């Protein structure tokens, strides 16, 4: 299928991306990668609207992308909506691409006030405990309604999420697409060589939210460090679970073996210090941090949940732990600590996996095709 519409020779596709842009996480990384991938594309005029100042705003602005910020810390929902409508009326987007729940609602309402552009949303992961409260259940139900009735396309970042959206959320298959995340694989990712006398560093990164279950990472660290005293664990990120994780570290006497780094701006240095990357989430889509680690030839050990099954090949570029068992997880780490040849082989295979299957170019081309399909079905 051609990526050009019959009338595209005379006009650009006007795309407005709407995202939170608060803490740097998977959704923000994907928005940045798409925006970077669209730079220089003469067929698309791209504007990014964010609800927070932060790293995403800085990166997009520095790249020369038209970036607008509606600071949600200073405005309530009605004011945010009014400012978004003003942006839409100025930009006159053909498509609004929203990310996450609040942004979906804002996009759906704003679209009715500015010529009804096509609506697309990307689902980066399943509900992060939203159904545990009445408010959360209402929020989740509203989001499902929006995807079923208001949005012209819903993109899942993994096949696992796509199945869930179809079977559990009722999103029509004709308006559902799967586009896996990608990263820039054209930059070199040097990995330092290590000697047997070095401290062995195992790390993870992400929002400190319950769905990430970093509490079990502390249990894994306790078992691993008891068996291999040179093992050290580091965790980059911030969020509401920070105090609980820190308490668990102290309770287990791991202060000298487990470091909470907080928010990290320079992730290059973070990855450069790792021997193994781990993921302990209860559910994941296609986590950008896992892709970033693998691109740097760092093997991954993770629980076999969600989209991780679509990235990591067990026994080839890492290990997938089938049961939610800290002891089993720890044993895989110990195997890699003890076998440096296997560690190196898995790391090399991880780099090859990302370069072949998860590039920014491939992801951006898929989104461009999705945008064209959306406008091609305009009534």
pLDDT in tens, 155-183: 999 999 999 999 988 999 999 999 999 98
- pLDDT score recorded for residue 343: 96
pLDDT, position 135:
79
Lowest mean pLDDT among 33-47, 111-125, 178-192, 246-260: 178-192
Q: Is the pLDDT of residue 128 over 60?
A: no
pLDDT at 346 over 60: yes
What is the reported pTM? 0.81
Confidence of residue 25 (pLDDT cuts 50, 70, 90): confident
- Cα–Cα nearest to 235, from 227, 248, 121: 248
Which CATH number is correct for 200-357, 2.60.40.180, 3.20.20.70, 3.40.50.2000, 3.90.45.10?
3.40.50.2000
Antiparallel, parallel or unpaired: β 95-99 and 276-279: unpaired
The rounded percent of the chain whose pLDDT value lies above 90 is: 75
| pLDDT score, position 126 | 76
Query: Are the CB atoms for 181 and 214 separated by under 8 Å?
Result: no
User: Would you state the pLDDT for residue 23?
Assistant: 78
Residue 190 has pLDDT above 50, yes or no: yes
What is the per-residue pLDDT for 302?
98
pLDDT interval class at 258 (50, 70, 90): very high
C-alpha dihedral (312, 314, 317, 320), degrees to nearest 10: 60
Q: Which fold does the domain 13-182+359-376 belong to in CATH?
A: Rossmann fold (3.40.50)
State yes or no: pLDDT of 208 exceeds 60.
Answer: yes
Confidence of residue 184 (pLDDT cuts 50, 70, 90): confident
Strands (E), 89-230: 95-99, 118-123, 153-156, 176-178, 200-205
For the chain, which residues make up each domain, given as ranges?
13-182+359-376, 200-357
Compute the C-alpha angle 89/93/95, nearest 5°: 140
Q: How high is the pLDDT of residue 45?
A: 94
Residues of the chain with pLDDT > 70: what percent? 92
Whether residue 203 has pLDDT greater than 80: yes
| Three-state DSSP state, 300 | strand
**pLDDT for 285 beyond 90:** no
**In the prediction, which pLDDT does 293 show?**
95
260's enclosing H/E stretch is strand 258-262
Measured CA to CA, the distance from residue 280 to residue 219 in angstroms comes to: 11
> What was the pLDDT predicted at 9?
44
Could you read off the pLDDT of 287-305 as tens digits, one per residue? 999 999 999 999 999 999 9
Same fold, 13-182+359-376 and 200-357: yes
By three-state DSSP, how is residue 119 classified? strand
Which of 30-39, 295-304, 323-332, 342-351 has the least mean pLDDT? 30-39
In this prediction, residue 227 has a pLDDT band, given cuts at 50, 70 and 90, of very high
pLDDT bin (cut points 50, 70, 90) of residue 212 is very high
Q: Is the predicted pLDDT of residue 8 greater than 50, yes or no? A: no
- Answer left, alpha or beta for residue 94, where phi above 0 means left and psi between -120 and 50 means alpha: alpha
What CA–CA distance (Å, rounded) separates 31 from 3? 20
């Amino acid at each position: 299928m051609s990526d050009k519409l019959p009338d595209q020779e005379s006009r650009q596709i006007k795309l407005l991306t709407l995202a939170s842009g608060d803490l740097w996480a998977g959704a923000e990384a994907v928005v940045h990668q798409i925006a970077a991938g669209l730079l220089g594309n003469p067929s698309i005029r791209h504007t990014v609207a964010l609800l927070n100042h932060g790293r995403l705003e800085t990166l997009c602005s520095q790249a020369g992308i038209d970036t607008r910020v509606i600071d949600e810390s200073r405005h309530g929902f009605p004011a945010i909506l009014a400012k978004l409508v003003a942006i839409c009326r100025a930009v006159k987007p053909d498509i609004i691409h929203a990310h996450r729940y609040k942004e979906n609602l804002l996009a759906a309402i704003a679209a009715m006030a500015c010529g009804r552009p096509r609506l697309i949303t990307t689902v980066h992961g399943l509900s992060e405990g939203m159904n545990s409260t009445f408010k959360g259940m209402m929020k989740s139900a509203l989001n499902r309604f929006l995807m079923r009735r208001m949005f012209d396309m819903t993109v899942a970042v993994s096949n696992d999420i796509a199945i869930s959206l179809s079977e559990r959320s009722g999103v029509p298959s004709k308006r559902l697409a799967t586009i896996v995340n990608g990263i820039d694989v054209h930059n070199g990712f040097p990995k330092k060589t290590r000697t047997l006398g070095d401290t062995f560093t195992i790390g993870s990164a992400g929002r400190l939210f319950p769905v990430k279950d970093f509490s079990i990472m502390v249990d894994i660290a306790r078992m691993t460090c008891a068996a291999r005293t040179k093992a050290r664990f580091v965790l980059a990120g911030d969020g509401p679970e920070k105090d609980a994780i820190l308490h668990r570290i102290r309770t287990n006497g791991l202060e000298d073996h487990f470091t909470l780094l907080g928010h990290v701006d320079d992730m290059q240095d973070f990855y450069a210090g790792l021997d193994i990357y781990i993921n302990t989430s209860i559910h994941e889509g296609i986590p950008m941090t896992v892709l970033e680690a693998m691109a740097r030839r760092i093997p991954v050990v993770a629980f076999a949940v969600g989209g991780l099954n679509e990235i990591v090949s067990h026994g080839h570029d890492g290990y997938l732990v089938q049961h939610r068992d800290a002891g089993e997880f720890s044993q895989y780490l110990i195997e890699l600590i003890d076998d440096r040849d296997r560690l190196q082989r898995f790391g090399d295979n991880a780099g090859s996996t990302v370069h072949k299957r998860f590039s920014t170019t491939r992801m951006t081309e898929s989104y461009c095709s999705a945008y064209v399909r959306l406008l091609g079905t305009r009534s």
